[in-house]
Structure 1
Amino acid sequence: MRMILRLMTAALMAAAAGVARADIVLGVAGPMSGPNAAYGEQYRVGVETAIQRINANGGVLGQKLSVSVGDDVSDPKQGVSVANKFVADGVHYVVGHYNSGVTIPASEIYAENGVLFVTPTATNPMVTERGLWDAFRACGRDDQQGIIAAKFVLERFAGKKVAIVDDKSTAGKGLADEMAKAYNSGGGKEVLREEINPGEKDYSALVAKIKESGADLVYYGGQHTEAGLIVRQMHDQGVKTVLMGGDGISNSEFGAIGG
């Protein structure tokens, strides 16, 4: 988050000179409610904490920073609504969004209306591959994460059976596809390739397929809620398969859900 605010501050310093207003408003966009709300909360708290420190040191060229929070609920349509509201409110700098599938359509609004944005977590390559002037990211891309994950699995699970699962989302499927591509290029071949519908509570059918495949490892592209449920339900069915995932499961709630 510190690097994100440095990028924003550089842009703000260039724009703040000659701008007469009480505050420079930063938009923070992410899932403030819904199943991924824990990440939206991290966004909000991180930005607010950084802004407090910047303001305590005099702000940017003598102007204070303030925050406008937009809840996209991890939904692309809502993300576009948040982006349009930021534009209407005169917000020119945004930290967000969380999901790649939300960031990509929202970024079109930002690019057309002079809004600079930095996403801390949207990993799909197309977030930045489209050549938008205003798009920045502060995280690794799916094609980078996938290669690293495949290398780890090929080394640490050599000769073991591997299943690959994703949640059909832009980021989740993108990550799983990149991992599968690198895994296959390295000589591996998954014993199972499946997709799930996020938001469901019962993944017993998937667990049964994992059990039947004899997989020693499941590589999962998706979010922590579904990953936790899959782990719990594997345990309940006596399946001892290890689950490995990307940054979508890097949340303490994953452990709580998975037990």
Structure 2
Amino acid sequence: MRRLLLSGLVVLSAVTGSLAQGTGAPVKIGIALGLTGSYAAFGAQVRTGAAQAIEDINKAGGIKGRPLEPVIGDDASDPKQGVSVANKLASAGVTMVVGSFSSGVSIPASDVYLDAGIVQVTPASTNVKFTERGHWNTFRTCGRDDQQGKVAGAYLAERFKDKKIALVHDKSPYGKGLAEETQTALKANGVKPVLYEGINPGEKDYSALVSRLKSAGVDVVYYGGYHIEAGLIVRQMRDQGLNALLAGGDGLAPKEFVQIAGPGADGTLMTFAPDPRKNPGAQAIVAAFNARGIDPDAYTLYGYAAVQVLARAMAETGSSDGKTLADWLHQGKTIETVVGPIAYDKKGDITRPDYVVYAWKKGPDGKIDYAGNELTP
């Protein structure tokens, strides 16, 4: 596998190819994620990707002869714990962080990182506010809710213009933000939702919500939130005889969604970025994951790319100082990553935002998956 990894590191060659040989003290890189809690599946994906990127970089000689040393923090996808983790990473001497997954954690944690001079690259936090506050230290390898909501709203308006559409969200910065952006896009396309509801995540019984959806005669339910609640809502809709289509955002991406939703997951629509596993520059990395029995789906490769972004900035500047790295990233230079080329604007957003619509469908093997089921180019 070592030969496969090293021969396939085309996306890392710009980082490691011209580095000086030698050894040096490790450079600490924080990995702040929800590794426990309700949404640990996402944290596990990002950690797997980031850890593999660090391993690959270190095997190829590190950054100017200095290996990367991960410092892991578990925020449990909780804002208060996220702030605590951010303070601990700052105290540990970290100057760069990959994370967090949740927007509700990344936003308050970024204030701590700002004060500590730490540059932060999130692989998954899509809430608009994360990069709209004028912070120099906030970057993403993913898109934003306004971009994702625009795609979702336009798609639903085009195909379900004469149907009754409801919007439901989990009240989180991510879920509510995505639902609001989708609502804005629907209205811009001449569609007024018949219902707008917030739920309490973590509950098991959403029968009251389903009853309201049935009473409103809803045909489509757009859900802003994560896969656990979405799966429960689908299952309970089907149990109560409501066959409305479910649509949602990238929070539905884990395979656990189908395990929770059951057969009712078939047909669910979801917005997400084009599948990075199909990126030609990522094939050797994907093959290496597969050889270990790992499918690098959803946000795995976005975690890998976040490490690549920071490594490239280190190689170009010869520094591990957070502000120095951020200043270089803001120049908008193209960085080749496993999710495709990334360049940043002055806010820290990627300059090539792209979302497509997927359908979760049952394949010939009887399994329900979204892979390969892109409905929009």
TM-score by length of 1: 0.92
The within-5 A match list for 1:68-107 is 68-107=71-110
What does residue 162 of structure 2 align with? 159
Aligned with residue 51 of structure 1, among 39, 54, 60: 54
Tell whether the 8 Å contact from 2:167 to 2:223 is kept in structure 1 after alignment.
yes
The within-5 A match list for 1:132-151 is 132-151=135-154
Tell whether the 8 Å contact from 2:171 to 2:198 is kept in structure 1 after alignment.
yes
Unmatched tracts of structure 1, length 5 or more: none
Letter of the 1:139 counterpart: C
What does residue 126 of structure 2 align with? 123
Deviation at 1:138, TM superposition (A): 1.2
1:77-107: CA deviation from partner (whole Å, max 9, x where unpaired): 0000000000000011100011111111100
Unmatched tracts of structure 2, length 5 or more: 1-10, 263-377
Counterpart check, 1:183 vs 2:175: no
- In the alignment, the residues of structure 2 paired with residue 236 and residue 25 of structure 1 have an alpha-carbon distance, to the nearest angstrom, of 50
Deviation at 1:21, TM superposition (A): 5.5
- In the alignment, the residues of structure 1 paired with residue 196 and residue 112 of structure 2 have an alpha-carbon distance, to the nearest angstrom, of 35
Deviation at 1:217, TM superposition (A): 0.6
Counterpart check, 1:239 vs 2:242: yes
Counterpart check, 1:42 vs 2:42: no
Q: Larger helix proportion, structure 1 or 2?
A: 1
Letter of the 1:226 counterpart: E
Letter of the 2:170 counterpart: D
Tell whether the 8 Å contact from 2:166 to 2:195 is kept in structure 1 after alignment.
yes
- In the alignment, the residues of structure 1 paired with residue 143 and residue 214 of structure 2 have an alpha-carbon distance, to the nearest angstrom, of 32
Counterpart check, 1:210 vs 2:213: yes
- In the alignment, the residues of structure 2 paired with residue 48 and residue 146 of structure 1 have an alpha-carbon distance, to the nearest angstrom, of 31
Letter of the 1:118 counterpart: V
- In the alignment, the residues of structure 2 paired with residue 215 and residue 138 of structure 1 have an alpha-carbon distance, to the nearest angstrom, of 35
> Percent of aligned positions with the same letter in both sequences?
54
TM-score by length of 2: 0.63
Letter of the 1:189 counterpart: K
RMSD: 1.8
Aligned length: 247
Higher relative contact order (CA 8 A, sep 6+): 2
Letter of the 1:74 counterpart: S
